[in-house]
Structure formats: C-alpha cells, structure tokens
Structure 1
Amino acid sequence: MKNGILLYPVIISEYNDDGHYYVATSPNIPGMITQGTTLTDTAYWTEDAIATMINGSDYPETVDPSNWKLKDNDKLVYITVDMTRWIKKNTRTVKKTITVPEYISNLAKKNNINVSKVATDALKRALNIDDD
C-alpha cells in the first residue's frame, strides 16, 4: 500500500427486478455489500463500504479475480480506496492535555493563538501528513 491507496476488484451486479439498481460485493472483503442506482453511484458507495469494513484492521491482500465466476449481469470493477483520505474525512477530534511553559501559554493567549491548531499542525508536519 503506497500512501494509503488500495485497489480491490469487486463484482457489481445489475438488477431489474424491483426497479433498476446495482449491487456490489467482493470476495476480498467478506460480508461487504452495498448498492446504488447507477454504476458510478455504486462504485462510490463501494469505496466507502470497503473502507468502513477494513478500517482499524490489517488491510486484506487483493485476491486475483481471474478465477471468479461471473454471471451475465455481473461486471468486474476495480475500486480504488484511499484509506488516508477516508480516515481523515471520518475521524472526529479528541481532547488531549498538553503541558507548555506558563509564559508561552500566556503569550499564546495574549496573541490569540489557537494552541490546539498549532499542536495539530506541528504533529502533521512531524508525521509527514499532507491535507490535500
């Protein structure tokens, strides 16, 4: 995985029974299932479903789909999952207590400096995190 980007093959099946819709599943991610009204919509929700299912765990290896048996209404689609972007978008903030010298705290307050923002920016630089 380079820069948090993963690529998983999925099966997107087209249905016309109770209306027209698509359903995505993947043998790579057991239990992952999502759907959409268009192929593009389904691909979008598939990225979110995969990221949700694998977040906080070791990322599953990509299985070679060449032996998958597809039905007439199935398409093999590769979904790019940017875990770094997804985690940033779906992460809440947490309260942390830090210790700084009193005079720095006073100067920051006097100069309307947001200490949490400064600490967050410094941690991003130290961790080489880019917020593009």
Structure 2
Amino acid sequence: MRYIFPAVFTPAEEGGYLVNFPDITDHTSYACMTEGDTLEEALHMAEDALNLTLWTMEEDGSPIPRASAIQEMKAPEGGFVNLISADTQAYREKYDTRAVRKNVTIPHWLDVLGTKNKVNFSKVLQDALIKELRVHRA
C-alpha cells in the first residue's frame, strides 16, 4: 500500500528537528514520531518512521486514518509541514526477510528429477509466487 501523510517538523533546542505525524499520533493508539540532527536526516527518519508505523498497523489489522490536507496542518514557530510518502509493500520486501517454512506436496518423480538437477526448490517456489502474485520488485 502507498500512503502520503503530512509531517510536522519542529526545530529541536539542541539542533535538528523533531518530527510528528499528528494524523497517526493523535487519532490512533500508535505514536509516529522521530527526529534528525539535520534536515536531510529528519526527512529520511520521517519516511522510515511512517513506513514502520503503517506496516505495524496493517499487520495488526488496525484502521489507517485519513491523511489531513497539508493546508489543515499548523507549523510551529520556526518549523514547517511537509508531505512524506510511504510504500509499505516495498518496505516489507526490504526489511521483512524472515524465512518461513512451508510444507508442500509434489509428485515423487518431480522431486527425483529436481533433486537430480540440483534445483533450489525454495527459490523456484519464491519466483513462482512473485510471478503469480504480480509482485513488482524494485
């Protein structure tokens, strides 16, 4: 899934920025906040925090709130509001690399032939599932 949410960037006293996503933090039981020592780092951390929070919400089956229009958001003094995008499917593909064991059944003759030809059955199944599910890898 792809999302775009406004983030509020507040200058931190010690430098850098604190980042908050009010649509998530204020309207769900999840907190979506981060910080960065520089603007570049704060933007990167904001994208990561948003992806991780939304991925967790999807996994938990929690409803994703509606994103406010950027014009509805108020910037703090010296701060600003910026839109941050998230692609939770791409984030999953990058970070959820856990292996899961699946028990499959194939005909004996196919097992013998595949083993004889040193087929990596797990890789073949993964490739077939990616094709079947039309997953587009970056």
Same fold (TM over 0.5): yes
Higher helix share: 2
Q: Secondary structure at the match of 1:129?
A: coil
What secondary structure sits across from 1:10 in the alignment? strand
State yes or no: 1:80 paired with 2:85. yes
Q: 1:42 to 1:59 in 2, by over 3 A?
A: same
Q: Secondary structure at the match of 1:128?
A: coil
What does the per-residue CA deviation read over 1:43-100, in whole Å, with 9 as the maximum and x for residues that have no partner? 1111111122121244322112323332222211111111111011121221111111
2:23 match: secondary structure: coil
Q: Secondary structure at the match of 2:80?
A: strand
What is the rounded CA distance, in whole Å, between the counterparts of 1:96 and 1:82 in structure 2?
27
Q: Aligned-pair RMSD on alpha carbons?
A: 1.4
**Residue in 1 that maps onto 2:43:** 43
Match of 1:112 in 2: 118
Q: Distance in 2 between matches of 1:71 and 1:78?
A: 15
1:28 to 23, 26, 32: 23
Q: Taking structure 2 as the reference length, what is the TM-score of the superposition?
A: 0.84
Percent of aligned pairs sharing the same letter: 26
One-letter amino acid of the structure 2 residue matched with residue 95 of structure 1: R
Flag as ranges the 4+ runs of structure 1 deviating above 3 A: none
Give distance in 2, aligned partners of 1:117 and 1:58. Answer: 34
Letter in 2 for 1:29: I
